[in-house]
Amino acid sequence: MAKKKSKKNWIKGHLKDPYVKLANKEKLKSRASFKLKQINEKYKVIKSGDAVIDLGAAPGGWSQIAKGILKDTGLIIALDLLPVTGVPGIKFILGDIYADEVMAQVDDLLRESGRDKVELVMSDMAPNLSGIAASDAARANDLNMRALFYAEKYLAKKASFVVKLFQNEYFKDYSNEVKKLFSSCSIYKPDASRQKSSEIYLVAKNKK
């Protein structure tokens, strides 16, 4: 009974959320779209003509914002275990970001576009929560390390990396790893992030 009540309260609060209402009004995939929009307004990580890799892209909110900025220029490669539909103009790969065949598809798409590097790797990934704090934190960090692997492999010199972190025991060590690869690292919590959430975004620029 308590779980049902909690879920009911969450749904009620979710529907009242101003960013949920705004996302519906603007026909955006999710309220998370506004997080990237606010990050880009502050840090200018997406510019006309850029190539972008969007990790954990479903349902497509971040790719949708990036496509709106790039318009008919550049390239967006979106990856997820779940399908992304209704975002025309992106290249979507359905699969596991840990799989060699998925990275091979990324390589193929870059070659087809005449590129071997991108200007932005972005990740709004988070694990499905088990409710066990230590396990959830470890799994989130594992996803973030994989995102950093993509950044190291695919980013051009002076390119950017945006990743969602959680304020847990891995936060400091992970931030230090990112700082080794980038000249500039900033921590930012968009207004669109729920205040109760421990999520925060690391915005790294100028890959060394």
Q: Does residue 171 sit within a domain?
A: yes
Q: Tell me which residue range forms the domain holding 156.
A: 29-207
Degrees to nearest 5, angle at CA 136 with 95 and 36: 60
**What residues are labeled active site?**
164
Between 20 and 164, the higher pLDDT residue: 164
Helix 18-25 with 2-16: angle, nearest 10 deg: 60
Q: In terms of Cα–Cα distance, which of 74, 77, 86 is closest to 109?
A: 77
Of 197 and 119, the one with more pLDDT: 119
CB 191 within 8 A of CB 31: no
114: left (phi over 0), alpha (psi -120 to 50) or beta: left
Q: What is the DSSP letter of 19?
A: H
- Record the tokens describing residue 61, joined without a space: 């909110």
Q: How far is Cα 32 from Cα 19, in angstroms, rounded to an integer?
A: 8
Q: Do the domain assignments include residue 178?
A: yes
Kindly state whether residue 12 falls inside one of the protein's structural domains: no
Q: Looking at residue 23, what is its pLDDT?
A: 66
CATH number where 43 lies: 3.40.50.150
pLDDT tens, position by position, 55-93: 999 999 999 999 999 999 999 999 999 999 999 999 999
Give the range among 102-116, 117-131, 143-157 with minimum mean pLDDT: 117-131
Establish if 113 belongs to a structural domain. Answer: yes
**Rg, Å, the chain Cα set:** 17
Structure tokens at 52: 């972008």
CA 7 – CA 27 distance, rounded (Å): 25
Q: Where does the pLDDT of residue 100 fall: very low under 50, low under 70, confident under 90, or very high at 90 and above?
A: very high
Reading the block at residue 158, the tokens are: 């002076």
In a domain, 180, yes or no: yes
Mean pLDDT computed over every residue of the chain: 90
Examine the pLDDT at 150 and tell me if it is beyond 60: yes
What are the residues whose beta carbons fall under 8 Å from the beta carbon of 183, sequence distance 6 or more? 205, 206, 207, 208
Whether residue 161 has pLDDT greater than 50: yes
Residue 72 lies in a domain: yes
Domain-embedded: residue 10: no
User: What does the alpha-carbon distance between residue 91 and residue 84 come to, in Å, rounded to a whole number?
Assistant: 10
Mean pLDDT across 167-178: 96
The rounded distance, in Å, linking the Cα atoms of 41 and 53 is 19
**CA–CA dist 66, 51 (Å, integer):** 10
Query: Is the pTM value of this prediction over 0.85?
Result: yes
Residue 182 in any domain: the answer is yes
* Percent of the chain with pLDDT strictly greater than 70: 87
Which has the minimum average pLDDT: 26-40, 42-56, 86-100, 128-142?
26-40
Token pair belonging to 172: 């400091």
Predicted local confidence at residue 16, as pLDDT: 63
Determine the average pLDDT of the residues in 115-136: 92
Report phi then psi at 63, rounded to 5: -60, -35
Domains identified in the chain, total number: 1
pLDDT of amino acid 202: 98
